[in-house]
Amino acid sequence: MKRSFKQNMIKSGAIVSNGIITNNPVFRLVLGTCPVLAVTTSAVNGLGMGLAATFVLLCSNMLVSALRRVIPDKVRIPAYVLIIATFVTVVQMVLRKFIPSLYDSLGIYLPLIVVNCIILARAEAFASTNPVLDSALDGIGMGLGFTAALMLIGIIREFFGSGSFFFGELAGIKMGWQFSALSDFSMSIFILPAGGFLVFGLLMAAVNALTDYAQKKKDKATQMRKSEIKAKNEIKSEEVAL
């Protein structure tokens, strides 16, 4: 029982970490680029968009997984879009009622979550073939990875472009700092589309380089362990022969 529980925990952790690090939807899979570049002029907007997408990912993954044996293959994509659109509508209504400032900031990119490649891809590639719990974990992992990427890009663009850090208001709570000393040195290009492409490209290159380095190091360690095991087995075989 303990072993089974431990294995389940390891599997759950691997599913979540896959979306955050290994296959980050923004830096590794390069999905959802349009909202990434459009809403990350500030970290608060990035956080808001990320949390909205995470909610839709979680709910749609769970519902698609629950209905995976009911939805006919011929209409599965329209069915997925309908499910996603339902949860996006819920998010829109909630934000418009309780956080109108964020609703206005996200603008057209909020309803466009319906056609976000990340959400539709996870519904098709994962939720449609896996149980509900695993699909929920996948939605959380991909959502957190998407949110982290948006926040990181937003922090850099906001700091260099506006001279502030996480400055804004979310759900009536004022956040962050405005550095008046940096206002004279701010570079407005960072809050323009060109600056978004620049930051996105540099971060993607850095994340891919670090991830590939870590993977090569892991593969090297695995190969060394295999070599050690092989050498031990050969020694044992020689001892038995003697």
pLDDT band for position 171 (cuts 50, 70, 90): low
> What is the per-residue pLDDT for 239?
67
> What is the per-residue pLDDT for 230?
79
pLDDT tens digits for 19-53? 898 889 999 899 888 889 989 998 999 999 999 99
| Res. 3: pLDDT tops 80 | no
What DSSP string describes 143-168?
A: HHHHHHHHHHHHHHHHHHHHSEEEEE
> What is the per-residue pLDDT for 1?
44
| Res. 13: pLDDT tops 60 | yes
| Res. 238: pLDDT tops 80 | no
pLDDT tens digits for 88-129? 999 999 999 988 888 988 888 999 898 888 999 999 999 999
**Both structure tokens of 199:** 């930051």
Biggest CA pair distance of the chain? 82
> What is the per-residue pLDDT for 174?
78
- Lowest mean pLDDT segment, chosen from 79-88, 148-157, 179-188, 207-216: 179-188
Residues 2, 187: Cα–Cα separation, whole Å: 56
- In percent, the amount of the chain with pLDDT more than 70 equals 95
| Res. 2: pLDDT tops 60 | no
Distance, CA of 8 to chain centre: 22
Those residues with Cβ within 8 angstroms of residue 20's Cβ, 6 or more apart along the chain or in another chain: 141, 144, 145, 148
pLDDT tens digits for 49-81? 999 999 999 999 999 999 999 999 899 999 999
